Structure 1
Amino acid sequence: MDDFEDLLAANRDYAASFELSGFDGIARAGVAIVTCMDSRIDPLRLIGLTPGDAKIFRNPGGRVTPQALEALVLGVHLLNVDRILVIPHTRCAMASSTEAELRERVGKSAGQDASWQSFHVIEDQRAALAEDIARVRTHPLIPDSVRVGGFLYDVDTGLLDQQL
């Protein structure tokens, strides 16, 4: 139980001034973000939002996976989303490593063979972003009225560069 005590203590501090009680969970700013799980990315703050403003879906590489599409469809139809940002980032391990390199690194860390594990590396980030934006824009349950943009986040400057 002590493994998480520091986090539980921080949670108690957080809960002492919790302000979202009773909030209905919609995206108050009408925004959904698909981005990477990288801890250098603070998806709300990087576009000036706060908790409750946006729906956020994170995964390695910030790709629009079937699960991300599911979240976006729900966001659009049930949670007030009318703008979608897809945001991969610079210096991403998923875009700077090969599948073999990641399997080797994970296998070494795990102390066992990881050659069977798929990591879905990204060979060309810009091409992958274009593919992801097209996947969102052509989804039959995401209407044309939803604005969709593709951006690259620079982890060294904090700036977004709109690509699509």
Structure 2
Amino acid sequence: MLEEILEFNRKFVENKGYEKYITNKYPDKKIAILSCMDTRLTELLPAALGIHNGDVKIIKNAGAVISHPFGSVIRSLLVAIIELGVEEVMVIAHSDCGACHMESEEIIARMKERGIKPEAIDMIRYCGVDFDSWLGGFDDPESSVRNTVKTIKTHPLIPKDIKVHGFIIDSLTGELTKVV
């Protein structure tokens, strides 16, 4: 599979397929989107929102959540806001999310099955990582979106003039539903 991707890339560059994607680093619509990494959203999300290359900053992770107040998601949002001119943030979770009902203990058991040493897990716990909050999922996508929106709105480093909105996208049809 990787060889196919690399071969495609070689031809893409050789044929100048990149030319129609040339833009700058500043998002034209001044929006950052935090969304799930689900493969169904790779093309569906931009198509359903009518966004194109250069329009928005998209930050993706498992579940569209903020698992640490000073982790990579907040860092990315801060760069987008402070350095790149973002004025609004959309948090977009989706229906049928794999992070919904995810259990940290099940993930840890699978890690051990894959050869991760229990001592490594214990050491990480000892360093203060709360596996339940870090690897655990959520019971309800709407409450997860509400929590993420609240985290962004109340974060001490996010300017108070930034508008933050929450949505659920239907992972089949692309329909957006606002989370209040």
- The residue identity in structure 1 corresponding to 2:38 is D
Q: Is the 8 A contact 2:102 2:136 kept in 1?
A: no
The runs of at least 4 consecutive aligned structure 1 residues that moved more than 4 Å come to: 105-108, 111-115
How big is each residue's C-alpha offset from its partner over 1:51-80, in whole Å with a ceiling of 9 and x where there is no partner?
Answer: 111111111111024211111111011112
Length-normalised TM-score, structure 2: 0.76
Q: Is the 8 A contact 1:28 1:53 kept in 2?
A: yes
1:126 CA displacement: 2.3
Structure with the higher helix share, 1 or 2: 2
- The number of aligned residues is 160
Aligned to 1:101: 106
Q: Is the 8 A contact 2:24 2:54 kept in 1?
A: no
Q: Is the 8 A contact 1:90 1:155 kept in 2?
A: yes
Match for 2:148 among 132, 141, 152?
Answer: 132
Match for 1:8 among 2, 6, 9?
Answer: 6
* In structure 1, C-alpha distance between the alignment counterparts of 2:139 and 2:108, rounded to whole Å: 16
Aligned to 2:174: 158
Alignment of 1:62-141 (within 5 A): 62-65=64-67, 66-108=71-113, 110=114, 116=121, 118=131, 119-141=135-157
Q: Is the 8 A contact 1:34 1:64 kept in 2?
A: no
1:130 CA displacement: 1.4
Match for 1:49 among 27, 48, 51?
Answer: 51
Q: Is the 8 A contact 2:103 2:136 kept in 1?
A: no
Note the residue ranges of structure 2 that are not aligned, 5 or more in a row.
Answer: 125-130
- Higher RCO (C-alpha under 8 Å, 6+ residues apart): 2
* In structure 2, C-alpha distance between the alignment counterparts of 1:62 and 1:35, rounded to whole Å: 5
Note the residue ranges of structure 1 that are not aligned, 5 or more in a row.
Answer: none
Aligned-pair identity in percent equals 26
Length-normalised TM-score, structure 1: 0.83
Cα RMSD, aligned residues only: 2.4
- The residue identity in structure 2 corresponding to 1:70 is R
* In structure 2, C-alpha distance between the alignment counterparts of 1:142 and 1:44, rounded to whole Å: 25
